[in-house]
Structure 1
């Protein structure tokens, strides 16, 4: 049976409040050896719940941050709260932060200030950073070049760019994570980018409860469905599914300093 890590989902999201333990169980049954659950949705309570869920489960880890949509709320006090939460041994990354010039739920200057604050926090805590980027690849690259990459590196989550953007992110030292979008018929630029990412920089994720892959598109996503994305990515890259899953596990272990999960019988 193939195994893999869901490197980005949101277990504290309200859509999981009624059955999060069942969701976690289904993921394990499907071959998801580890999960990185990301807070960064709305108020700080989401990050606190994310850490609490991770602390209850040996194979779940957490990232804490302020989403670009909420960047207008990223005050010095909020960064201090994230710093305190990161004291938990289960917090393995800062984020997701970044830029979203598609929806513009926060002004660009607020998004850029928040991104710089997260980059500084990641550097201070010696943690990798998880980046959200939508219609803002060029500006994000500029800011990271100006500010400097955290020593521990980072991940472009839910990559939605093209091969040119992928090359720029790779040149900065980022890993690139692919979501269920890669299973959509209109994802040709993303699929082309997936072919140029080196083996040691590739990751997969669900971004659950959002962006369910085919054949679940339009339904609530959950970590178990990351196997569909893994299968599509392996098919595109013409590699064995189990081998790619093992590579993703190794990459996540290196970047997030996760313990290697026990091998399934």
Structure 2
């Protein structure tokens, strides 16, 4: 049987932990059925690497350019124009990783919100996919969504760790939710319960490589630096199907 065709909804192949071995990593991912990867930039400092990967692997890499909330303190004026240039130069590009974060200390709330709202409006104006990072900021996000347009195609909350109630509210705004291998840990039963409550058509799977490494039993591909490998996506999907109390074939055929 040929391998399943999968798409990694969110990862960072441009990371220094992966970039040097990208040829081998992409080949290994393709060998287990990963046909596409959404590679998310986090600031102008890595957008060129994302662009390079998209040109090097045009059939598999979907580039995404965004300003991550953790990066807002180090970015100067001009990033908005550069973001638009990157989107214009890649017709299949997405926006992100961007978002809001109250977990990381020392971040300016106003700077975070201004950057996020700009990117959300840009995604709405162009009806582009947008990958959103939220940590301990669900109420803040909901307040913004009440006042800010979103893409008619919806938006992705990557590695979604919110509650079932929050998920229901966000789904009304058009949210999609991606599950990362990190949530296969037994102690993440609350997140697993939330995903059981979501409509299947609103769920995506991601590695967030090189981060969000799954538990050892769901690691099919290891790296010397112990980073999460994009090829782990297939085993993460299998683990997710088991968590949902469903067989893999039933999940994929629905």
The verdict on a shared fold, with TM-score over 0.5 as the criterion, is: yes
Name the structure 2 match of 1:253: none
Name the structure 2 match of 1:241: 248
The offset of 1:239, in angstroms, is: 3.2
Q: Say if 1:171 and 1:205 are closer, same or farther in 2 by CA, change over 3 A.
A: same
Q: Residue 200 of structure 1 aligns to a residue in which SS?
A: helix
Q: Is the 8 A contact 1:74 1:114 kept in 2?
A: no
Name the structure 1 match of 2:46: 46
- Structure 1 length as normaliser, TM-score? 0.86
Name the structure 2 match of 1:26: 28
- Structure 2 length as normaliser, TM-score? 0.89
Q: 1:53-106: per-residue Cα shift (whole Å, max 9, x none)?
A: 012211111110000101234555101101100113354311111111111352
Q: Is the 8 A contact 1:206 1:212 kept in 2?
A: yes
Q: Is the 8 A contact 1:3 1:31 kept in 2?
A: yes
Aligned equivalents of 1:153, 1:228: Cα separation in 2 = 27
In structure 2, the gaps of 5 or more residues are none
Aligned equivalents of 1:182, 1:68: Cα separation in 2 = 22
Name the structure 2 match of 1:128: 129
The offset of 1:242, in angstroms, is: 4.1
Q: Is the 8 A contact 1:68 1:100 kept in 2?
A: yes
Aligned equivalents of 1:28, 1:244: Cα separation in 2 = 21
Name the structure 2 match of 1:165: 166
Q: Is the 8 A contact 2:41 2:47 kept in 1?
A: yes
The offset of 1:165, in angstroms, is: 1.8
In structure 1, the gaps of 5 or more residues are 248-265
Name the structure 1 match of 2:81: 80
Does 2:231 align with 1:224? yes
The offset of 1:142, in angstroms, is: 1.1
Q: Is the 8 A contact 2:99 2:112 kept in 1?
A: yes
Q: Say if 1:20 and 1:81 are closer, same or farther in 2 by CA, change over 3 A.
A: same
Between the two proteins, the alignment pairs up a number of residues equal to: 245
Aligned equivalents of 2:77, 2:151: Cα separation in 1 = 19
**Comparing 128-137 with 67-76, which one deviates more in the overlay?**
67-76
Q: Residue 193 of structure 2 aligns to a residue in which SS?
A: helix
The offset of 1:150, in angstroms, is: 2.2
**Comparing 203-212 with 108-117, which one deviates more in the overlay?**
108-117
Q: Residue 95 of structure 2 aligns to a residue in which SS?
A: strand
Q: Say if 1:245 and 1:65 are closer, same or farther in 2 by CA, change over 3 A.
A: farther
Q: Is the 8 A contact 2:13 2:22 kept in 1?
A: yes
Q: Say if 1:183 and 1:128 are closer, same or farther in 2 by CA, change over 3 A.
A: same
Q: Is the 8 A contact 2:132 2:158 kept in 1?
A: yes
CA RMSD for the aligned pairs? 2.0
